[in-house]
């Protein structure tokens, strides 16, 4: 079976800045691929390639086994690749249900008599959210009144409702407290259990570890490591993230210099 997404030795330059080089990973249906790395590591650059915002300069990007080069985010979306950005691009004063549809609201009548079907819109939103265990008192309330975690959950439910095959989340837990981060991770796991391939970007190994099936560690644009979950435990992942191996190598060198 082909992976939903696969990148092979992908590279990307912004002018003279090498943002990404020789990065490879896969995203399978029903699995979570987690991309970890410090600020400026290239995480957002990688997902922007997957999402059709940028194009790679080197290597290959395959969707369900076929090489692609998306010209726009719309093309990626048409292939079922939905991306939830950190700022979410929601309209804060608009109701939850209008944000849920954002331009694809159900209508009644046709031609010049077409009108928003508010009742249906509200019901569909409530149902889609309830299916994910999200119980909002009122889907008429402005989305701006929701907590950061609830907003992330609405965005995830939206992607699932509109038939996404791949869900990309750029640091969904970065601005959240412990409890809210836990709730968002629960929905990430739900999306996975529904058979979506998920790409989760974070720089917190504690958020990544429980839900991920594989880890891609980036550092200054290059892959520092790529592991299946069975190959690495949380302490080792944390150590790698903290640059533990480099520190040890440095210590070792210093000791050898002393000894000679
Ligand atoms: N549009 C751009 N033009 C020029 N350089 C860019 C552009 N976007 C990103 N870069 C550079 O590419 C590198 C990788 O950036 P990227 O945003 O992918 O990092 P990141 O891992 O997402 O970091 P963060 O954790 O801070 O979000 C950085 O050095 C950044 O300055
Ligand atoms: Mg980023």
- Quickly list DSSP for 89-157: T--TTSBHHHHHHTT---EES-GGG-EE-HHHHHHHHHHHHHHTT---S-TTSBGGGS-HHHHHHHHHH
> What pLDDT is recorded for position 154?
83
Give the position, in ligand 1's atom list, of the atom nearest the Cα of 17: 5
Lowest mean pLDDT among 115-119, 156-160, 185-189: 115-119
**Who surrounds ion ligand 2 at CB < 5 A?**
43-44
Smallest CA separation from ligand 1 atom 30, residue? 40
Lining residues, ligand 1, CB within 6 Å: 14, 17, 19, 37, 39-45
Token reading at 208: 């990544």
pLDDT category at 199 given cuts 50, 70, 90 is very high
Give the position, in ligand 1's atom list, of the atom nearest the Cα of 42: 18
Average pLDDT score, the chain: 86
> What pLDDT is recorded for position 246?
65
Q: What ligand has the least distance to the C-alpha of 18?
A: 1
pLDDT at residue 110 is higher than 80: no
pLDDT at residue 257 is higher than 60: yes
Q: Evaluate whether 200 touches 33 at the Cβ level (below 8 Å).
A: yes
pLDDT at residue 95 is higher than 90: no
pLDDT at residue 122 is higher than 80: yes
- Range(s) within the chain of domains with CATH label 3.40.50.300: 5-93+162-259
Choosing from 11, 20, 43 the residue with most ligand 1 atoms within 8 A of its CB, the one to mutate for a pocket test is 43
Q: What ligand has the least distance to the C-alpha of 42?
A: 1
pLDDT at residue 28 is higher than 80: yes
- Of 75, 72, 77, 54, nearest in space to 7 by CA: 54
CA distance 246 to 124: 52
Q: What ligand has the least distance to the C-alpha of 14?
A: 1
Assigned CATH topology for domain 5-93+162-259? Rossmann fold (3.40.50)
> What pLDDT is recorded for position 104?
67
What's the CA-to-centroid distance between 134 and ligand 1, angstroms? 34
Task: Average the pLDDT over 109-137 and give the result.
Answer: 79
What's the CA-to-centroid distance between 153 and ligand 1, angstroms? 26
Higher pLDDT, 11 or 145: 11
> What pLDDT is recorded for position 219?
92
> What pLDDT is recorded for position 24?
96
Choosing from 10, 14, 35 the residue with most ligand 1 atoms within 8 A of its CB, the one to mutate for a pocket test is 14
The model's pTM: 0.84
Lowest mean pLDDT among 55-69, 97-111, 120-134, 194-208: 97-111
Instruction: Please write the tens of the pLDDT for every residue from 138-161.
Output: 888 888 888 777 878 888 888 888
pLDDT at residue 88 is higher than 60: no
CA distance 239 to 234: 8
Rounded-to-5 percentages of helix, strand, coil across the chain? 40, 25, 35
Q: Evaluate whether 156 touches 162 at the Cβ level (below 8 Å).
A: no
pLDDT category at 244 given cuts 50, 70, 90 is low
Smallest CA separation from ligand 1 atom 1, residue? 14
> What pLDDT is recorded for position 247?
65
């Amino acid at each position: 079976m082909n992976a939903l997404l696969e990148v092979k030795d992908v590279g990307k330059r912004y002018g003279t800045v090498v943002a990404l080089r020789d990065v490879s990973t896969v995203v399978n249906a029903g699995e979570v691929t987690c991309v970890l790395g410090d600020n400026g590591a290239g995480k957002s650059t990688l997902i922007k390639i997957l999402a059709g915002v940028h194009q790679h300069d080197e290597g290959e990007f395959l969707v369900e086994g076929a090489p692609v080069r998306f010209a726009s985010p719309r093309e990626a979306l048409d292939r079922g690749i939905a991306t939830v950005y950190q700022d979410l691009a929601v309209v804060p004063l608009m109701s939850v249900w209008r944000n849920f549809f954002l331009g694809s609201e159900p209508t009644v009548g046709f031609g010049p008599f077409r009108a928003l079907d508010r009742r249906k819109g509200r019901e569909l939103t409530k149902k889609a959210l309830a299916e994910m265990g999200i119980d909002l008192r009122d889907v008429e309330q402005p989305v701006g009144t929701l907590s950061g975690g609830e907003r992330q959950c609405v965005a995830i439910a939206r992607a699932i409702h509109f038939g996404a095959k791949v869900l990309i989340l750029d640091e969904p837990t970065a601005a959240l407290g412990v409890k809210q981060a836990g709730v968002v991770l629960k929905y990430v796991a739900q999306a996975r259990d529904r058979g979506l391939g998920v790409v989760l970007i974070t720089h917190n190994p504690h958020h990544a570890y429980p839900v991920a099936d594989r880890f891609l560690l980036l550092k200054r644009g290059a892959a520092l490591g790529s592991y299946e979950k069975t190959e690495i435990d949380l302490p080792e992942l944390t150590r790698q993230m903290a640059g533990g191996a480099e520190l040890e190598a440095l210590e070792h060198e210093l000791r050898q210099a002393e000894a000679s």
